[in-house]
Structure 1
Amino acid sequence: MARLTARFWIDAYLARLRVQDIPAFIVVHGDDTAGSILVKVNKLDGQATVYHRSYNLMEDTREWSILEQGHDREVDASIDRQRGYDPDIWVIEVEDRQGRHLLDQPGLS
């Protein structure tokens, strides 16, 4: 089975967010082909959540799960730690007061 490159997935994700008028930005540019992706959802009230894709061994699927949630500074510190482990990582920041991220929609897992 062919795998999408990180850059292709990110471009498609950003396009999907634009259609819904949800602002999002590439904060950290990772490896174009195989970089891991973190999605930070900034609710613009000092609170944020960062999501990462994890592998569900029991169901043989990938799913988005919460890596860190809380004050924006704590979430940023968590992202910095992840960047220390993986220099090829991507960070996408979504800014939405309602906390919308679309990661639960079909085609984004």
Structure 2
Amino acid sequence: MRVTTEFWVSALLRRVFGAGGFAAVVKRGATEAGAVFVLSRGRLGDVSLFGPGPQTSYDSDKPDDRFFTLLGAGDDAAALDARLEREKKFDPDIWVVEIEAATVSVEELLSVKTP
């Protein structure tokens, strides 16, 4: 059984804080099944945007996992913010979580798949 998005986001926040990082919900979406986008900001100005992975990323060994894919990275935060704004217009029920992971990599916090 898959957990609600609200519960999953709460667990992500706890993992980030537990690793000494910082996290905040920038936009709260649908409680039950909203798509989650994660904006990761590094301490040196680098930014990465992760979004829901395609359905082809489904792993039968981990049926309850949420998979993510890297949608963009670099030091142009404005471009990634614009991408998020387009996503919000397309689906107003999305969640946006911003993290600064500190000592752990984003890949340790999220199940990242490459398409």
Alignment TM class, shorter chain as reference: 0.7 to 0.9
Partner of 1:91: 96
TM-score, normalised on structure 2?
Answer: 0.78
Among 107, 110, 113, which residue is 1:103 paired with? 110
Q: Structure 1 residue 67 and structure 2 residue 65: aligned?
A: no
Task: For 1:47, give the aligned amino acid.
Answer: D
Larger RCO: 1 or 2 (CA < 8 Å, sep 6+):
2
C-alpha contact (below 8 Å) 1:68/1:78 kept by paired residues: no
Structure 1, residues 56-100: CA drift from partner, whole Å, max 9, x if none?
Answer: 52x633522111222111111111111111100000001246783
* Structure 2: runs of 5+ lacking an equivalent: 60-65
How many residues are treated as equivalent by the alignment?
103
Among 64, 77, 89, which residue is 2:82 paired with? 77
Equivalent runs, 1:1-109 vs 2, <5 Å: 2-57=1-56, 60-61=58-59, 63-70=67-74, 71-96=76-101, 100-101=105-106, 102-104=109-111
State, as a whole percentage, how many aligned pairs show the same letter.
29
Whole-Å separation in 2 of the counterparts to 1:60 and 1:100: 22
C-alpha contact (below 8 Å) 1:41/1:99 kept by paired residues: no
Which structure is higher in strand share? 1
* Structure 1: runs of 5+ lacking an equivalent: none
> In angstroms, what is the RMSD of aligned CA positions?
2.1
